[in-house]
Amino acid sequence: MSEPKLSHRACPLCSRDNRDEPASRWSRDEWTIKECPECEFIYLENAPEYEALADDYCWTLTVPQERNRRLQSEPLFSRLSQSWKQVWSRTLPRGKCEWLAQRFCQPGSVVDLGCGSGSLLKKMGDRFVPHGIEIDPHAAALARQVVEPRGGSIVECDVLHGLRQFPEGSMSGVVMKCYLEHETAPADVLRAAERILRPGGHLVIKVPNIGCWNFRMRGKKWCGFRFPDHVNYFTPETLQNMVQNAGFEVARFQWNDHFPLGDNMYLVAQRPESVAVAEPLRRVA
Ligand SMILES: [Zn+2]
C-alpha cells in the first residue's frame, strides 16, 4: 500500500490549531487524537484525505478489519458486546433516523449524505423525492436504482462538493446517518447543508456519543474508536455547538436522543424560518 496522504487538522469546532498540544491518551499507533483545550472537541488530527478514505481506508475494508482485531484481542468481551447490542437495538424503535426524517421533514426533496446503496432512501415514504450523495461508485450505482424511478438523483463525489450541486433552499430535509463522524470538514458540510435546506427545513443527524457510559467504562477500548475512519468524536454538547454555529436551531435533542446507555445519539435541527434565501427556490428534479 502506498503512503496515504494525511492532512493536519485544526479543531473542527473552534478552529484552534492544536499542533503544540500533547496527543490525547486515546491516540493509537500513528493516529493522533487531540482534545481541544479551547472547546473540548475530540478529533483525529492527522486524518486521511478524501482519496485515501475512498481507497486505502474505505469502510468496507476497515470495518471487518476492526471487528477481527477486537475479536482477537478480546474474544469473550467482543461476543458479549455483540449480544448486548442486539438486545439494546430491540429496545429502540427500528430505524430511528428514518422515523425522525419522516416525522420532521415536510413533503418534498430529501438528501441522504453518504447514502451507500440507498437503504435509508428506500424507506422514505412517497411524499419524498429521494436524493443521495455517495463517493463509492458501486454503492452509487445501486442507489440510483432506488431513487431514479421516484424522480430522485445520486451525486457521485465527496459530500462537500456534492452539496454544492444542489440549489439553495431546494431541500425539505437532509439526513446524516453515521456520516458526520467520518467527515474531515464537518463544520463546512453543516453550513453547506444549511444552505440547501428551505427555510424551516430539517436536518437529522446520528453519530456516536463519546459522552456515553460505555466510553467511560471502556476508555481506549470503546467501540466508537475506529482508526482512521472516525475523525470526529462528539459529546452532546459539542454536537449541539457545531450545529448551532452552522446557523441551525435545535428542533429536538431530548434525553432519550442522547441516552448515556446507548453508544449513539440523534439530533434534529432546523434552518431558521426567518432566513433570507439568496436565490429563488427551485425544485430539484
Ligand atoms: Zn476547539
The answer to whether the CB of 238 falls within 8 A of the CB of 13 is yes
C-alpha 160 – ligand 1 centre gap (Å) = 21
Cα–Cα dist 259/80, whole Å:
21
Statement: residue 81 has pLDDT above 90: no
pLDDT tens track for 233-282? 999 999 999 999 999 999 999 999 999 999 999 999 999 998 777 655 55
C-alpha 37 – ligand 1 centre gap (Å) = 7
pLDDT of 278 reads 63
Domain ranges, ordered by start, for the chain: 94-270
Cα–Cα dist 250/270, whole Å:
6
The answer to whether the CB of 140 falls within 8 A of the CB of 134 is yes
Residues with CB under 5 A from ligand 1 (ion): 11, 13-14, 16, 36, 38-39, 41
pLDDT tens track for 157-176? 999 999 999 999 999 999 99
C-alpha 96 – ligand 1 centre gap (Å) = 30
Mean pLDDT lowest among 93-97, 121-125, 253-257:
93-97
| Among 65-69, 227-231, 256-260, the range of highest mean pLDDT | 256-260
C-alpha 36 – ligand 1 centre gap (Å) = 5
C-alpha 63 – ligand 1 centre gap (Å) = 28
User: Which residues have C-beta within 8 Å of that of residue 38, sequence separation ≥ 6?
Assistant: 11, 14, 16
Cα–Cα dist 117/145, whole Å:
9
pLDDT tens track for 180-201? 999 999 999 999 999 999 999 9
Q: Per the CATH hierarchy, to which homologous superfamily does domain 94-270 belong?
A: Vaccinia Virus protein VP39 (3.40.50.150)
Of the candidates 214, 213, 207, 178, the one whose C-alpha atom is nearest the C-alpha of residue 77 is 214
Helices (H), 3-104: 50-54, 59-73, 75-91, 96-104
C-alpha 283 – ligand 1 centre gap (Å) = 37
The answer to whether the CB of 38 falls within 8 A of the CB of 11 is yes
C-alpha 90 – ligand 1 centre gap (Å) = 36
